[in-house]
Structure 1
Amino acid sequence: MGKLLVTGATGNLGRQTLELLLESVPADRLAGLARTPERAADLAGRGVDIRQGDYLDQASLVRAFDGVDRLLLVSAQAFTDRNTQHLNAITAAKQAGVKHVIYTAIQRDEALGINQVGVTESDVFTEQALRASGLTYTILYNPMYLDQFDGYVGADAYEKGVRVPPGEGTMAPALLRDLAAGNVAVLTQDGHENKTYTLNGSEAASYRDIAATLSEIHGRTVPYLPVTVEEFHESYVRNGLPEPVAEFLTAWVAGVGLGSFSKSTDDLERLIGYRPTGYREFLEKNYPSVAPRTGSGA
């Protein structure tokens, strides 16, 4: 039986997936991909085979994927050449004899035609390349991350209100740990071949709903205060974010109001066998001090 390999072993989603895999899979069956293996020394110390590889170096990927049965392809970071990186990984997987590739994409509503800057076009390209490769695949559409909630509404909503672009669209954000558990299910179980899943937390909410929930938690009114897309974008720039990042996050947050993330399913709950954490429970315990984060790409 071949190994299960997780790319992005030093990022949030990849690392949490490997940590959960260690709870149910012998360490000698697990491998992780990292550009800098030393950054995953703790996982290596627990028996995970950390292999050096870079999405931009196809030869390194062919070596890293040797003997791998199922591969979790964590999508590359936005604002990079994702098309080349993902195609390199898919081509290398086929050359190395990988049987099943699981790809983490970003949730989207194609009927609305909303383009999430930096990810939508490359996700579509990657999914088409994966289906054309002849490899067995599973595509996991990821929602907004609860762990990064302050990046969407700010850490100061209790003082300034929920100031976001207008719209009544909803989202059902999920914890990275719950999404990692979904990854584990697909990596370790049969029956997910050539399927796509839209993953969500257990509760959907609009920004107006979130303001009302924060009001209940805080015991004082937290107003919902829609602002223009331009004003929201400028707030990111004033806080020191590079222009491409500000543009990306603005499109992401505005997309929620427009309905990009409104599709809600029970796919994640069925995969992991328990109710994913909902936004209300998370906010009660964690807002405004949300968990620190690192890069989530490979």
Structure 2
Amino acid sequence: MGVRSLGYLRLESGDLGKWRAFGADFLGLMPVESDSGSLSFRMDDHPARIVVSPGAQPATTALGFEVLDERELAKLVADVERSGIKVTAGTEAEAAERKVTGFARFADPGGNPVELYYGTVLDHVPVTTPLVSRFVTGDMGFGHAIVSAEDARAAFDFYVGVLGFVERNTMKGPGGTTWFLGCNPRHHTLGITPAPGPGRLLHFMVEAATLDDVGLALDRAAKYEVPMMHSLGKHTNDHMVSFYVWSPENIAVEFGWNGLKVPEPVPVYEITDGAFWGHNFTPPPQPAG
């Protein structure tokens, strides 16, 4: 059956204060403090979708992909190990910190940190997101992520052949082919693009329920001087109307609305441009001094 959704993202940052302002005041997520000193953000009934922990250097420590149950996790772990990748089981304490029943971790062929988990532990505390009418999540997870891999083809083969993702579309660029992969009705949950060096998180997306949510988020970006990465535009592959900003660690973050749903298999296709209109690029801010 394979992966069902992107359930959570875990990061490390040297400045949790900046992330609190970015996640709560700009993105409109609900911040939740933890005993470990990490800062968690909720957007729905899931206990945490984004967790930022203290760290000396910015880092992505986990892309958390949800699977159906314990048996499905065991099957996927065996499949990953047969592919030649070492898998480590999460401890009970680590599972409790993530508020899941069980999980396993490994590095994908590009070096990106992956966690497969099952059994989200719900605390039944209503989520409060007063700046956003609603985030589009549910069985599609919290959004999507784009990662890099030096051998993007090997990473693509792994996610499709081992973890059960479905190819949605491709786009050729100067460095090679980028693949967009789905695992539920959301057009894509994962993108893989070629880049030299170890794999890394390039951007993640959250989807809001209304166009007004996007417009109000644009106003907040201006109010709080959040650096813009792509202006408002509409994508050619998932038809999402969105804009991008730079996070405190210069990860691109997309805030969008009305992404394409693909409930049934459709033939794969190639796009030759990323946007029907808009999405004009601004490079990341340079460090002071």
TM-score in terms of structure 2 length = 0.31
Structure that is richer in strand per residue:
2
Structure that is richer in helix per residue:
1
Higher relative contact order (CA 8 A, sep 6+): 1
